[in-house]
Chain A
Amino acid sequence: MDIKLKIWRQSGPKQAGFYEDHRVVADPHMSFLEMLDVLNEQLLEAGKDAVAFDHDCREGICGACSMVINGNPHGPRAGTTACQLHMREYHDGDEIVIEPWRAAAFPIIKDLVVDRSAFDRIQHAGGYVSVGTGSAPDANTIPIGKRESDEAFDYAACIGCGACVAACPNASAMLFVSSKVAHLSLLPQGKVERKVRVRKMVAAMDAEGFGGCTNHGECSAACPKSISVDAIALLNREYMFAGLARD
Chain B
Amino acid sequence: MSSATPTSAPPFDRLVKALTSTISLKIVMALTGLAGVGFILFHMAGNLQVFLGRDAYNDYAEFMQGLGALKWVARGGLLTVLGLHVGAAVVLIQRNQRARPERYAGLEQKRTSLAAMYMAELGMVLLAFIVYHIAHFTMGVVSIEFGGVDYYALQQVTEESTRRDLYAHFIVSFQQPGIAITYIVANIALAAHLAHGVTSTFKTAGIAVGRWKLPFEVAGPAIGVIVGLGNISMPLAIWAGFIGGH
CA distance A170 to B21 in the complex (A): 15
Query: Is B102 at the interface (CB under 8 A from chain A)?
Result: yes
Evaluate contact between B22 and A204: CB separation under 8 angstroms: no
Taking the nearest CB of chain A, how far is it from the CB of B115, in angstroms? 11
B111 CB contact (under 8 Å) in A124, A213, A218: A218
Of B65-73, B156-164, B183-191, B208-216, the segment with at least 4 beta carbons within 8 Å of chain A is: B208-216
Evaluate contact between B116 and A236: CB separation under 8 angstroms: no
Evaluate contact between A71 and B104: CB separation under 8 angstroms: yes
CA distance A206 to B20 in the complex (A): 10
Evaluate contact between A236 and B96: CB separation under 8 angstroms: no
Evaluate contact between A102 and B3: CB separation under 8 angstroms: no
Evaluate contact between A170 and B204: CB separation under 8 angstroms: no
Evaluate contact between A212 and B100: CB separation under 8 angstroms: no
Chain A residues lying within 8 Å of B1, measured Cβ to Cβ, are 105, 118, 207-209
Of B4-12, B35-43, B140-148, B166-174, the segment with at least 4 beta carbons within 8 Å of chain A is: B4-12
Per CB-CB distance, the 4 closest pairs between chain A and chain B, nearest first, are A237-B206, A211-B99, A217-B111, A216-B112
Chain A residues lying within 8 Å of B15, measured Cβ to Cβ, are 244
Query: Is A229 at the interface (CB under 8 A from chain B)?
Result: yes
Query: Is A167 at the interface (CB under 8 A from chain B)?
Result: yes
Interface membership of chain A positions 175-187, coded 1 if the CB is closer than 8 angstroms to chain B and 0 otherwise: 0000000000000
Evaluate contact between B95 and A212: CB separation under 8 angstroms: yes
Chain B residues lying within 8 Å of A105, measured Cβ to Cβ, are 1, 99
Evaluate contact between A204 and B213: CB separation under 8 angstroms: no
B200 nearest in chain A by CB position: A215
Evaluate contact between B99 and A72: CB separation under 8 angstroms: no
CA distance A235 to B104 in the complex (A): 28
B104 CB contact (under 8 Å) in A99, A233, A238: A99
Chain B residues lying within 8 Å of A210, measured Cβ to Cβ, are 22, 99
Which of A19, A68, A200, A203 has the most chain B CB within a 10 Å cutoff? Answer: A203
Chain B residues lying within 8 Å of A247, measured Cβ to Cβ, are 7
Taking the nearest CB of chain B, how far is it from the CB of A202, in angstroms? 6
- B202-244 at interface with A (beta carbon < 8 Å): 203-210, 213
Query: Is B50 at the interface (CB under 8 A from chain A)?
Result: no
Chain A residues lying within 8 Å of B107, measured Cβ to Cβ, are 68, 71, 167, 169
Given contacts A169-B117, A233-B204, A233-B205, 16 further A-B contacts (CB under 8 A): A71-B106, A102-B103, A124-B3, A167-B107, A172-B96, A206-B22, A211-B22, A212-B22, A214-B96, A214-B116, A216-B116, A216-B117, A230-B210, A233-B209, A234-B209, A236-B205
Chain A residues lying within 8 Å of B98, measured Cβ to Cβ, are 104, 209, 211
Chain B residues lying within 8 Å of A244, measured Cβ to Cβ, are 14-15, 18
Query: Is A205 at the interface (CB under 8 A from chain B)?
Result: yes
- B68-110 at interface with A (beta carbon < 8 Å): 92, 95-96, 98-110
CA distance A83 to B10 in the complex (A): 46
Chain B residues lying within 8 Å of A211, measured Cβ to Cβ, are 22, 95-96, 98-100
A212 CB contact (under 8 Å) in B25, B196, B209: B25
Evaluate contact between B100 and A104: CB separation under 8 angstroms: yes
Query: Is A103 at the interface (CB under 8 A from chain B)?
Result: yes
CA distance A199 to B9 in the complex (A): 13
CA distance A102 to B26 in the complex (A): 23
Which of A217, A229, A233, A239 has the most chain B CB within a 10 Å cutoff? Answer: A233
Evaluate contact between A203 and B3: CB separation under 8 angstroms: yes
Evaluate contact between B108 and A200: CB separation under 8 angstroms: no
Evaluate contact between B23 and A239: CB separation under 8 angstroms: yes
Chain B residues lying within 8 Å of A200, measured Cβ to Cβ, are 5-7
CA distance A72 to B111 in the complex (A): 13
Chain B residues lying within 8 Å of A216, measured Cβ to Cβ, are 109, 111-112, 116-117
Interface membership of chain B positions 111-136, coded 1 if the CB is closer than 8 angstroms to chain A and 0 otherwise: 11000110100000000000000000
Query: Is A113 at the interface (CB under 8 A from chain B)?
Result: no
Given A211-B95, A229-B203, A218:B100 Cβ within 8 A? no
CA distance A31 to B14 in the complex (A): 49
CA distance A79 to B45 in the complex (A): 46
Evaluate contact between B109 and A207: CB separation under 8 angstroms: no
Taking the nearest CB of chain B, how far is it from the CB of A98, in angstroms? 9
CA distance A204 to B108 in the complex (A): 29
B100 nearest in chain A by CB position: A171
